[in-house]
A = this chain, B = another copy of it.
């Protein structure tokens, strides 16, 4: 079974893939014919595909986000690879393939990511801070098992958000050891809370964001998380004016650093400055790592990466 990432122009192949997107269209000729405009994907990447001779039965058989067995040939269209599907059928139980094998996913199991996050949460010494963070985590606990961290920007895959949080917690722990003047409780809380409302801001399935929620568009995950902290404090009878509540809200509100990046206030606590830079460091390096991973080894340059000033990354050949 050939991985999407390994397909080259003119390759003929047979394999199982995820029917990530599917749209019924008509050709321009008269009489026009129906065809499927498709995106096929697996855990290594995705490619556009066309299936030209669509029957009525086909229309009732194939739907997005299903697994299919495909015989196809790779062609070039406008300098990009595209699959021409020769034959296609739905995957069946006896094929022994599972949906989760075909999606991009964090390199650590979701259950282990959640376990780590909860361990860190338990290690917070301040009871009020721990209570507020727990309340917010509970709101999205189920979605945290599989939500991506963003639509396309970074960690855009199954359990990407939890993975982002765990790696940041590792960096945060190191930095707090290196610079003991930082408050470790606030650092942990800030990292866990900073993107905690993203699962309610975005609508995602199998790690793929399909849209933003109405609340996501009108309020945004930063203000949503701030409101959740308010709610947590009220529900647990914690003083809304306390330095704890202010500090947690400030961490969340300021973590995008600048107004034009979505933060209504700029970092004005040591841990808020650290949070923004740890978030940025982890997100950017993950973009680089993912871009190198999904670019064929034979290529010296990755595609342009939006979050890196739209620059590509060069694969140094030192050793």
Which B residue sits closest to A30, measured CB to CB?
Answer: B52
Interface bracket on A: 35 or more
Would A218 and B314 count as touching, CB distance under 8 A? yes
- Residues of A242-280 at the interface with B, using a CB-CB cut-off of 8 Å, are 243-244, 246-247, 249-250, 253, 257-271, 273-274, 277-278, 280
B292, A285: Cβ atoms closer than 8 Å: no
CB of A25 within 8 A of CB of B227, answer no
Q: Establish whether residues B230 and A77, one from each chain, have CB atoms under 8 Å apart when the complex forms.
A: no
Q: In the complex, what distance in Å separates the CA atom of A275 from the CA atom of B198?
A: 27
Any B CB within 8 A of the CB of A61: no
Identify the interface centre among A178, A250, A292: most chain B CB within 10 Å of its CB: A250
Assuming the A-B contacts A170-B178, A178-B170, A231-B230, are A186 and B316 also in contact, with contact meaning beta carbons closer than 8 angstroms in the complex? yes
Among A112-120, A143-151, A155-163, A305-313, the stretch in contact with B: A305-313
**Chain B neighbourhood of A23, CB < 8 A:** 76, 79
Interface membership of chain A positions 70-96, coded 1 if the CB is closer than 8 angstroms to chain B and 0 otherwise: 000001110100001000000000000
Contact among B170, B314, B318 with A214 in the assembled complex (CB-CB below 8 Å): B314
Q: Which residues of B contact A75 (CB under 8 A)?
A: 25-26, 32
Are A273 and B249 closer than 8 Å at their CB atoms? Answer: no
Question: What are the residues of chain B within 8 A of A126 when measuring CB–CB?
Answer: 318-319
Question: Does A29 touch B at the CB level, under 8 Å?
Answer: yes
A217 at the B interface (CB under 8 A):
yes
Q: How many copies does the complex hold?
A: 6
Q: Do A215 and B181 touch (CB < 8 A)?
A: no
Would you call B288 and A273 a contact (CB within 8 A)? Answer: yes
Cross-interface CB contact of A218 among B24, B219, B235, B268, cutoff 8 Å: B268
A210 within 8 Å of B by Cβ?
A: no
Q: A222-B264, A265-B220 are in contact. Are A246 and B214 (CB under 8 A)?
A: yes
Would you mind naming 6 contact pairs between A and B with Cβ atoms under 8 Å apart?
A23-B76, A214-B314, A219-B265, A253-B264, A259-B262, A273-B285
Task: List A residues at the B interface (Cβ < 8 Å).
Answer: 23-30, 32, 50, 52-53, 75-77, 79, 84, 126, 167, 170-171, 174-175, 178-179, 181-183, 185-186, 214-215, 217-220, 222-223, 226-227, 230-231, 234-235, 240-241, 243-244, 246-247, 249-250, 253, 257-271, 273-274, 277-278, 280-281, 284-285, 288-289, 292, 300, 308-309, 311-314, 316-319
Taking A175-B285, A179-B285, A267-B308 as given, write out 6 further A-B residue pairs in contact, using a Cβ cutoff of 8 Å, ordered by the A residue number.
A29-B29, A183-B319, A217-B268, A219-B253, A231-B234, A268-B311
Q: What 7 A-B pairs come out closest when comparing CB atoms?
A: A218-B250, A277-B281, A259-B259, A227-B230, A259-B260, A264-B264, A30-B52
